[in-house]
DNA sequence: GTAGAGGTTGACGCCGCGTCAACTTCAACC
DNA sequence: GGTTGAAGTTGACGCGGCGTCAACCTCTAC
C-alpha cells in the first residue's frame, strides 16, 4: 500500500510543501521509484510522519524530532528537557507582560513628576547603560525587577526620603560645578562618594552585593549623564553633567 | 557632541552590528559626514536609540517600533495592542505545556492499555486526520481540550462504559467483515450509523454540535483506519479496516 | 614599514516552511 | 493530432533580527 504526496497531505493535514521540506532535510525521506520521479510514501513513512507531527505540535524543533526518532533515546526524556525551556519561555513572557503593563500605567500618569527623574536615572540606567560587553552578561534583566520591588516596598515615606536625598545630591553637584571646583579636589570626590553610595543602596544595582557600584556600570552611567540630555538636565545641563562625569572618572580611577 | 559607532555601542550595550542593521533598515539613520565614511551619531540619535531599545525590550518588532516613533501615534496605544498578542502567546504556551505534561505522563504509564486504543482512535484523530484543507480551519486545537475535559469528567464508571461500547462496536465490525457482508447492506450500514453516533457523542468532535460527524472528518478517519496500522489493528488488520472504510464511505454518500 | 585598532560593505546562516516561478508528465477530451 | 488540466518536480526568495565571517580601507603609533 502506497500513497502519493497529495494523499499523504490530505490524510495528515499538512501541505505537500511541508512533506517535500521534510524530505529535503532528511526528516522524512520518501521512497521514490525512480531518481527524480514523483514521491511515494508507504505505511512506515506514514507512521513516522504521525510521530513527527505529534512532537511538532508539542513544540519540538525538527532537529530535535529527528534526534528522538533516529537515535533510540527515550521520548519522555526529550519531552522533559523540552518542558524546561518551555517553562523558561513562560517565565520570560510573564515578566515581559508585567513590564509592559507597568510601562503602560506609567505612560498614562503625569509624565513630569519627580519620580520620573528618578526612574530615568535609576531604572533606565540599569537597562541600557553598559560600559563593557562582558559586564552586560553580569547584570541581567532582573535588575529592574529587584529595584522596582524595592522601590514599591519603600512606601510613601521612604520614597519621599529617597527623593529628598536625590535632590540634596543634585544640589551639591550643581553648586560644585558652578563654583568651578577641580574634579580631583577632595570636596568634589566627596560628592562622588556620596553619589556612589546613593546608587549602590538600591538592590539590583550592579555591585549592590559588594557595597560599591560596579566600575563599568559607574563609568557607563557617567558617560550617559553627558550623552543623554534628559539625564544632563538633572545635573544642570551638558556643562554640569560633564563636570559630574569628570569627577566620577577620577573617583573610579582612585577607588578601584 | 558626536560619537562613533563603538562609543554608542558601549554607551547603550548593543553591538555595532546592530547599529549598522538599524541604519540599513532605516530605523536609526546615522549622520554621515561623507557618503561612505564612518558613521557618526548625535544626541538626537542617542535618544532615539534609547527609546528603540526600551520598546524592543518590551517585545515590539522593529517595524512596530519604527511606526511608533515616526508617526505621532500614542505609545501607550501601541503597547496595549502589543499586550493582546503577548497574552495570546502566553495562553498558547500554557496549553502547550499542559499538553506536553499530559504526554509525558501518558508515556510513563503502561503504553498498551485499552485506554490507549481510545486515545489513538479519538484524540489523535482530532489532531492529524484531516480530509480537506478547509476543514482544518474549522476544528482547531481546542477540540482536544474539550474532548479531554469531557473524558476526565466521565469518571471511572463512565470511562468503563465507554470502553465497553467501543469493544461492542469493534466486535460488530470484525464479525461483519468475516461474514463477508456487502458494504451497502443494511446490516453493515447499521453498524456505520452506530459508529457515527459513537464518534459524535464526544464534545469537540467535528460535527458534535450538529449531531452527526463532519463528512470530511468521517471520511478522513475512515482512510486513516486503513492507512495507519495501529488503527487497523483495532479493526482486525488491514482487511478488516478496509471493510470498515468502505462501509463508512457508502454511509457518507447516503447520509450527506 | 608595519602592526593594530576601528571602520566599511557584502553575504551567508538560522527556522520552518509559504509562495511564486518555470517546467514536465500523464490522462482525458475534442 | 492538439489542447487542457491536474499533479508532480526543482529552485529560489522571503520572513526577523541580527551573529558571524570575509575582504578591504584608513588612521595612528612605534
Phi-psi category of A26—alpha, beta or left, where left has phi over 0 and alpha has psi -120 to 50? left
| pLDDT at residue A175 tops 50 | yes
The spacing between the Cα labelled CA in A38 and the C1' in C30, in angstroms, equals: 29
Write down the pLDDT at residue B33: 65
Task: Please judge whether B108 and A76 are an interchain contact, meaning their C-beta atoms are less than 8 angstroms apart.
Answer: yes
Q: d(Cα B203, Cα B211) in Å, to the nearest integer?
A: 10
Q: d(Cα A142, Cα A148) in Å, to the nearest integer?
A: 10
Who among A53, A80, A89 is closest to B93 (CB)? A89
- CB contacts of A89 in chain B (<8 Å) are 93
The average confidence (pLDDT) of chain A is 78
Helix/strand/coil percent split, chain A, to 5: 75, 0, 25
Q: d(Cα B7, Cα B72) in Å, to the nearest integer?
A: 29
Q: Which three cell numbers stand for residue B117?
A: 486504543
- CB contacts of B230 in chain A (<8 Å) are 47
| pLDDT at residue B226 tops 90 | no
| Residue, of B25 and A154, whose pLDDT is higher | B25
Task: Please judge whether A97 and B83 are an interchain contact, meaning their C-beta atoms are less than 8 angstroms apart.
Answer: yes
- A28-42, A202-216, B10-24, B147-161: the lowest-pLDDT one: B147-161
- CB contacts of B54 in chain A (<8 Å) are 103, 124, 127-128
Q: d(Cα B64, Cα B48) in Å, to the nearest integer?
A: 14
**DSSP letter assigned to residue B119:** I
Strand C bases within 7 angstroms of protein beta carbons: 6-9, 15-19
Residue B27, CA: closest nucleotide via C1'? D17
Give the sign of the dihedral formed by CA A248, CA A249, CA A250, CA A251. positive
- A5-19, A148-162, B77-91: the lowest-pLDDT one: A148-162
Domain ranges of chain B: 2-73, 74-109, 112-255
Q: Confidence class of residue A219 from pLDDT cuts 50, 70 and 90?
A: confident
| pLDDT at residue A139 tops 50 | no
Q: Which residues numbered 93-132 in A keep a CB inside 8 Å of some CB on B?
A: 93-94, 96-97, 99-101, 103-104, 107-108, 124, 127-132
Where is mean pLDDT largest: A76-80, A111-115, B152-156?
Answer: A76-80
| pLDDT at residue A169 tops 80 | yes
**DSSP letter assigned to residue A11:** H
| pLDDT at residue A116 tops 50 | no
List, for residues B96-116, the tens digit of each pLDDT value. 888 788 778 777 765 543 333
Strand, coil or helix: what is B166?
Answer: helix
Task: Please judge whether A47 and B230 are an interchain contact, meaning their C-beta atoms are less than 8 angstroms apart.
Answer: yes
List, for residues A33-90, the tens digit of each pLDDT value. 666 689 999 888 888 888 888 888 889 999 999 999 998 777 888 999 999 999 999 9
Average pLDDT over residues B9-20: 87
Write down the pLDDT at residue B115: 37
Write down the pLDDT at residue A17: 94
Strand order in the sheet with B39-42: B2-3, B39-42, B31-32
List, for residues B30-86, the tens digit of each pLDDT value. 987 666 689 999 888 988 888 898 888 889 999 999 999 998 777 888 999 999 999
CATH number of A2-73: 1.10.1660.10
Q: What ipTM goes with this model? A: 0.69
Q: Confidence class of residue B233 from pLDDT cuts 50, 70 and 90?
A: confident
| pLDDT at residue B204 tops 70 | no
The average confidence (pLDDT) of chain B is 78
Residue A39, CA: closest nucleotide via C1'? D8
Write down the pLDDT at residue B7: 86
| pLDDT at residue A125 tops 60 | no
| pLDDT at residue B176 tops 60 | yes
Average pLDDT over residues A203-208: 73
- CB contacts of A132 in chain B (<8 Å) are 10
Amino acid at each position: 500500500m502506497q500513497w502519493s504526496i497529495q494523499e499523504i497531505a490530505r490524510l495528515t493535514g499538512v501541505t505537500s510543501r511541508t512533506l517535500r521540506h521534510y524530505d529535503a532535510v532528511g526528516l522524512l525521506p520518501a521512497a521514490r521509484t525512480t531518481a527524480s520521479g514523483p514521491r511515494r510514501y508507504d505505511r512506515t513513512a506514514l507512521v513516522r510522519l504521525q510521530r513527527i507531527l505529534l512532537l511538532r505540535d508539542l513544540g519540538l524543533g525538527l532537529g530535535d524530532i529527528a534526534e528522538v526518532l533516529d537515535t533510540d533515546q527515550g521520548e519522555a526524556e526529550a519531552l522533559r528537557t523540552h518542558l524546561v525551556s518551555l517553562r523558561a519561555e513562560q517565565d520570560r513572557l510573564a515578566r515581559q507582560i508585567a513590564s509592559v503593563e507597568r510601562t503602560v500605567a506609567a505612560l498614562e500618569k503625569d509624565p513630569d513628576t519627580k519620580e520620573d527623574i528618578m526612574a530615568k536615572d535609576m531604572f533606565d540606567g540599569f537597562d541600557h547603560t553598559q560600559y563593557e560587553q562582558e559586564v552586560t552578561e553580569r547584570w541581567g534583566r532582573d535588575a529592574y525587577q529587584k529595584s522596582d520591588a524595592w522601590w514599591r516596598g519603600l512606601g510613601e515615606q521612604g520614597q519621599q526620603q529617597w527623593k529628598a536625598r536625590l535632590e540634596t545630591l543634585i544640589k551639591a553637584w550643581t553648586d560644585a560645578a558652578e563654583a568651578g571646583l577641580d574634579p580631583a579636589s577632595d570636596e568634589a570626590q566627596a560628592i562622588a562618594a556620596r553619589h556612589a553610595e546613593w546608587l549602590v543602596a538600591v538592590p539590583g544595582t550592579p555591585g549592590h552585593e559588594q557595597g560599591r557600584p560596579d566600575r563599568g556600570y559607574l563609568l557607563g552611567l557617567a558617560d550617559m549623564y553627558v550623552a543623554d540630555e534628559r539625564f544632563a538636565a538633572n545635573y544642570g545641563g551638558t556643562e554640569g553633567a560633564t563636570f559630574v562625569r569628570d569627577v566620577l572618572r577620577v573617583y573610579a580611577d582612585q577607588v578601584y
